């Protein structure tokens, strides 16, 4: 293998290593986070806490309504006991009962409204739990698949690292320094020559450059400075 080819191979291996590392990072992220599951979980929690809030209010209001309910029962008992003979007293009790009933009716309307909300909340939570379960199941199976893939990619990566090490030890220090020095550039820094042109900048190479590139020395493009590789 010519020196230029080895440097070219080194570049390809390093690109592949970068790609594998990126792939591993992406997979790791997908193992740790799942938008659909997290959204489902948040929606369920919100609905549950909203329902718990209404339930608390309901209980408080229902407890408040207990006093007028008891008073109404007492008055009604008195009225039907037949013990009260005085018509004025009877009227007064009836009026009191009427006022208590009117105020209780308002509370009962609110309680009924809350009861409806609690019922629809229950239905909503049931649906959200289904969504949550489905999202969790999908994520779990995705994770299982991803873990298998991670192992494969890691294996490939270690092979690539081994290959990189071999290539590095087969390339002299000056050539490596030239290669490393070009690395700040975007994309390929070792480029193929095709039909007499540098594939890095598409400029036609001189006869001299082409001749030198055919040899075993490292030749850079006179126009863009990239290392040329003539296959
Ligand atoms: Zn060039």
Domain boundaries, the chain: 15-171, 175-229
CA of 115 to the centre of ligand 1 (A): 77
Stated as kind and residue range, the H or E segment containing 14 is helix 3-32
CA of 169 to the centre of ligand 1 (A): 27
CA of 205 to the centre of ligand 1 (A): 8
pLDDT value of position 202 = 96
pLDDT value of position 48 = 98
Contact 11, 227 (CB under 8 A): no
Contact 192, 231 (CB under 8 A): yes
CA of 200 to the centre of ligand 1 (A): 5
- N- to C-terminal Cα distance for the chain? 10
Taking ligand 1, which is a single-atom ion, which protein residues have CB atoms under 5 Å away?
A: 198, 200-201, 221, 223-224
pLDDT value of position 1 = 84
CA of 7 to the centre of ligand 1 (A): 16
pLDDT value of position 85 = 87
B/e letters for 154-189, b = 16+ CB within 10 Å, e = fewer, are: eeebeebeebbeebeeebeeebeebbeebeeeeebb
Averaged over successive runs of 10 residues, the pLDDT of the chain (231 residues) comes to 94 97 98 98 98 98 95 93 89 94 95 97 98 98 98 98 98 95 89 96 95 90 95 84
Q: What would the two tokens of residue 122 be? A: 């229950």
CATH top-level class for 15-171? Answer: mainly alpha
pLDDT value of position 215 = 86
pTM for this model (two decimals): 0.77
């Amino acid at each position: 293998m010519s020196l230029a080819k080895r440097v070219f191979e080194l570049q390809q291996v390093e690109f592949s290593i970068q790609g594998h590392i990126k792939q591993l990072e992406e997979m790791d992220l997908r193992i740790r986070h799942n938008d659909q599951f997290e959204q489902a979980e948040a929606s369920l929690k919100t609905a549950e806490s909203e329902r718990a809030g209404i339930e608390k209010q309901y209980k408080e209001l229902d407890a408040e309504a207990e006093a007028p309910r008891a008073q109404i029962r007492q008055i009604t008992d008195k009225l039907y006991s037949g013990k009260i003979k005085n018509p004025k007293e009877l009227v007064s009790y009836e009026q009191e009962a009427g006022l208590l009933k009117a105020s209780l009716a308002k509370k009962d309307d609110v309680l009924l409204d809350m009861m409806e909300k609690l019922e629809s909340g229950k239905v909503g939570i049931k649906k959200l739990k289904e969504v949550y379960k489905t999202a969790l199941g999908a994520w779990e199976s995705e994770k299982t698949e991803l873990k298998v893939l991670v192992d494969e990619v890691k294996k490939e990566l270690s092979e690539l690292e081994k290959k990189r090490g071999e290539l590095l030890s087969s390339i002299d220090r000056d050539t490596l320094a030239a290669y490393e020095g070009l690395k700040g550039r975007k994309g390929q820094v070792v480029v193929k020559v095709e039909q007499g042109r540098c594939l890095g900048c598409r400029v036609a190479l001189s006869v001299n450059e082409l001749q030198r590139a055919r040899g075993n020395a490292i030749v850079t493009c006179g126009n863009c400075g990239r290392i040329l590789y003539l296959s």
